[in-house]
Amino acid sequence: MHKFKVINNGTILVNEDFIMDPWIYGHLYNRSWSPFPKQNFDKKRLKKIKFCFISHLHQDHWDLDTIKHFTKNVTFFLPKLSFNKVIEKTLNKIGYHKIKYIEYGKFQKISPNYEIAVIPPLNKGALETDVINPKDDNAVAIDTGLVLRLTKLNINNLILFDNSPYDIKVFQKYFKDINIQNLFFNYNGFAQDYPLKYNMLTTSQKQKISYELQLKKEKYLLKFINYIKPKLLIPHSSDFILNHNRRLFFKIHSKEFLDKDRYAKRINKITDIKAYALYAKDTLVVEKEKFHVDIKTKNKEKDLKPSPMKLHFPKTSNKNFDHLLSIALNQTFDRIKKYKLSIPNNKLGLDFGSSKYLIDFKSKKITKNRFVKNNILILLTKKKIVKLILEKKLHINNAGIGCYLNWERYPNKYLNFRDLYQCLNFFHV
């Protein structure tokens, strides 16, 4: 018999000794995200953890305020990807040195109870585009998943975390003949800033776009479910509360896709497969040839929201902004060459209200106080925030997830700006 608990978001606890994507206590992305539902999980229980799997680099999947309550003997398992060295180095700094890397598709026995295998990202195609091309090297995806095999029962649990299954062929390449009993999956695509933070859209346009994106995401999910034919569905890994722009967040996103309990009922109705929304007090009990669910959470989403927090940022240096911007542009071209990226055809505008900057990547020029809204991506925010990004005290990807950057793009087509979005990850000194 094995017991599964979904604490919140991607955090799954199995038998009290194996935890995945831990995030229980911390307020992340400069306090723009808080755990949802509000947690009062006993920290002493984390002392029992022996194994921890981290699916990818985003902070809500390896919260240090949670990890610090583990003993130093915990073994961490990371997908064998170069950028996960950031996770390893950070864990080393706080005293964790048992780090093991796992290659895609290869089962590794970690205890008499568990074997695990990493699923590569299945979401290279952006949700905005409906384009899936595994050969597209510019489409960087970091969201891996996991197959957790309960060895003695020979039961496979597929856990996708944020790894939306847009590309079945990639899954087939590594797991063609596997039999999946239980599927844990991300149930919405709201951990992004589009369309929430795009100012050229009206509220009604944002509502329409959001709903259409969720239906598109669900279309791929249903196709994947039909392919693997699991016996049980557990929607999870979309549980967070946004502290900044919270009212707009709830206004533009449909409750049908926001509420985990509602979504479990929706996917059950569509697929006719049993589906459960599990919260921290609930338990999925897996036994040979059967399972049962012990539901103890009564209030569901309604009374479990934490109080909003104010954003918090580090201090900037005294360095001149214009000089930093010029150095960052030059160094970005070095990284474009190093990582074999494409030079963007479009321009980047920085709008700070009292001052504006236009960055032309083709001509490698920066001009001030004027730009035309054509073939341009405009970032509207405070100069301090951009300066922190240039100084690498913030990462633009995390700032986007935190939803405290505003954007405009002309034309409003993701594919027109894909190369520019890619380069912005390397736009710093």
Mean pLDDT of 293-311: 76
Q: Residue 412 pLDDT > 70, yes or no?
A: yes
pLDDT digits (tens, 9 = 90+) for 213-270: 999 999 999 999 999 999 999 999 999 999 988 999 999 999 999 999 999 999 999 9
Gap between the Cα atoms of 429 and 419, Å rounded: 19
98-143 pLDDT, tens digit per residue, is: 999 999 999 999 999 999 999 999 987 555 555 444 444 334 678 9
185-197: b (≥16 Cβ within 10 Å) or e: bbbbbbbebbbbb
Residue 304: pLDDT over 70: no
What would the DSSP string read from start to end of 292-319?
EEE----STTTT-PPPP-----PPP-SS
pLDDT attached to residue 128:
53
Q: What is the reported pLDDT for 370?
A: 87
* More confidently predicted of 22 and 369: 22
The pLDDT score that the predictor gives to residue 272 is 98
Mean pLDDT of 341-368: 96
Q: What is the pLDDT of residues 196-229, one digit of tens each?
A: 999 999 999 999 999 999 999 999 999 999 999 9
Are 282 and 295 in contact, with CB atoms under 8 Å apart? Answer: yes
**Could you give the percent of the chain with pLDDT greater than 90?**
87
**Which residue bears the tokens 């490698």?**
364
pLDDT value at 184 more than 50: yes
* C-alpha dist (Å) from residue 358 to 41, 223, 373: 48, 43, 11
Whether residue 369 is predicted with pLDDT greater than 70 in this model: the reply is yes
pTM of the model: 0.93
Average pLDDT, the chain: 93
Residue 121's pLDDT is 94
pLDDT score at 63:
98
Domain covering 2-294, topology: Metallo-beta-lactamase; Chain A (3.60.15)
- For the CA atoms of 251, 253, 259, 262, the dihedral, rounded to the nearest 10 degrees, stands at 110
- Write the pLDDT tens digit of every residue in 186-205: 999 999 999 999 999 999 99
pLDDT single digits (tens) 55-110 = 999 999 999 999 999 999 999 999 999 889 999 999 999 999 999 999 999 999 99
For residue 136, the model assigns a pLDDT of 43
Can you tell me the distance from the alpha carbon of 220 to that of 215, in angstroms, rounded to the nearest whole number? 9
* Mean pLDDT, residues 136-165: 87
Question: Mean pLDDT over residues 318-340, rounded?
Answer: 95
The answer to which of 11-20, 93-102, 299-308, 389-398 has the lowest mean pLDDT is 299-308
Mean predicted confidence (pLDDT) in 16-36: 96
CATH topology of domain 321-424: Nonspecific Lipid-transfer Protein; Chain A (3.30.1050)
Amino acid in the structure at residue 367: T
* Alpha helices for 306-369 (secondary structure H): 321-338
Domain positions in the chain: 2-294, 321-424
Quickly count: other Cβ atoms within 10 Å of residue 354's Cβ. Answer: 7
